Amino acid sequence: MNYRHVYHAGNFADVVKHVALVAILLHLKKKDAGFAVLDSHAGRGVYDLTGEEAARTGEARAGVARLMDLRDEMPPALATYLQLVKEGGPARYPGSPLLAARLLRTQDRLTAIEKHPEEFAALKDALAPYANAAVENGDGYARAVKLLPPPSRRGLVVFDPPFESPDEFETLAQAIRDAVRKFANGIFLIWYPIKSQAAADAFTGEVLAGGVQKALTVDTQISAPEGNLDRAGLLVINPPYGFDVEMYAAAEILAPLLRADIAVKWRAGTP
């Protein structure tokens, strides 16, 4: 295993992804009916931003650390994200499965899948206090597709792979197509790096051609040191009502703090 998220946790891309995740979860909680969250590439659940790894890249310092003095009125997703981040403190930055676990009600369920044994062991510990969170050690693509649709028939699937392998875009696109076929009304939150516009367009084009009715992208670009990731995308399939407005509002606050351009764009269907 080469990829370890601890080097990147809390960076600009994590902030935008995690605010989007919280926005979707807050929407799902508007109805009493229970929902399911499937996190296919969950990571370790909690990250020490004061540790040596985070210090070495400085990515969290240029990311979530810049939001700590925010006091203005904020859209609910950003406010809830910041509250959860502050509750843990910088040594316990919450990853996607922990953010989800913290927001679940008794009727909701989380399944978090992580392949790598060390990260999985940490994930298991991080989620142990949450009775309605289950962890699985395995391949997130195969397990996520297999577990769909969830018994509640409503919910969110998160695909956030490490992009270690040269054919990750193809594997991801195929898994999304399979997953959407099994859970057509599900919400899907997908993260990808943008190192080449053509590769990103080919990926989103392939997914959208698979019969997706509603989708939007959030494209975030920063100016980063040579060799560091400076641009990342989110593809959100079946974004819930009001998600776009929530993200436009969050982007207005986040963009100057992260020194980023954040573009929220409808790619299929309309609000």
Ligand X SMILES: C[S@@+](CC[C@H](N)C(=O)[O-])C[C@H]1O[C@@H](n2cnc3c(N)ncnc32)[C@H](O)[C@@H]1O
Residue 185 burial by CB count (10 A; 0-12/13-18/19+): exposed, middle or buried?
Answer: exposed
Do 215 and 267 meet the contact criterion of CB atoms below 8 Å apart?
yes
Span near ligand X by CB under 6 A; candidates 23-31, 78-86, 136-144, 246-254: 136-144
For residue 217, the minimal CB distance to ligand X (Å) is 18
Do 21 and 246 meet the contact criterion of CB atoms below 8 Å apart?
no
For residue 15, the minimal CB distance to ligand X (Å) is 10
DSSP letter string over 131-198?
Answer: TTEEEEES-HHHHHHHTPSPTTS-EEEEE-----STTHHHHHHHHHHHHHHH-TT-EEEEEEE-S-HH
Residues 14, 39, 108, 160: which is the catalytic one? 160
For residue 60, the minimal CB distance to ligand X (Å) is 12
Helix, strand or coil, per DSSP, at residue 109: strand
CB nearer to ligand X: give 1 or 68.
1
Do 175 and 210 meet the contact criterion of CB atoms below 8 Å apart?
no
- What tokens were used for 53? 């790894």
Going by DSSP bridges, is the β-strand pair 231-237/215-222 parallel, antiparallel, or unpaired? Answer: antiparallel
Please state the φ and ψ torsions of residue 10, each to the nearest 5 degrees.
75, 10
Binding mask 11-50 for ligand X (x = CB under 6 A): ------------------------------xxx-------
Reply yes or no on whether 167 is catalytic.
no
> Looking only at residues 141 through 170 of this chain, which bind ligand X when binding is defined by CB under 6 A?
141, 160-162
Span near ligand X by CB under 6 A; candidates 54-62, 100-108, 113-121, 179-187: 113-121
User: Is 90 among the residues that bind ligand X (CB under 6 A)?
Assistant: no
Neighbours of 175 (CB within 10 A): 21
How much of the chain is helix, strand and coil, in % rounded to 5? 40, 20, 40
User: Is 119 among the residues that bind ligand X (CB under 6 A)?
Assistant: yes
User: Is 95 among the residues that bind ligand X (CB under 6 A)?
Assistant: yes
Residue from 53, 139, 178, 206 binding ligand X (CB under 6 A): 139
User: Is 10 among the residues that bind ligand X (CB under 6 A)?
Assistant: no
Residue from 29, 66, 116, 182 binding ligand X (CB under 6 A): 116
Residue nearest to ligand X (CB): 95
CB nearer to ligand X: give 21 or 74.
21
For residue 221, the minimal CB distance to ligand X (Å) is 19
Which residues are at the interface with ligand X (CB under 6 A)? 3, 5, 41-43, 95-96, 113-116, 119, 139-141, 160-162
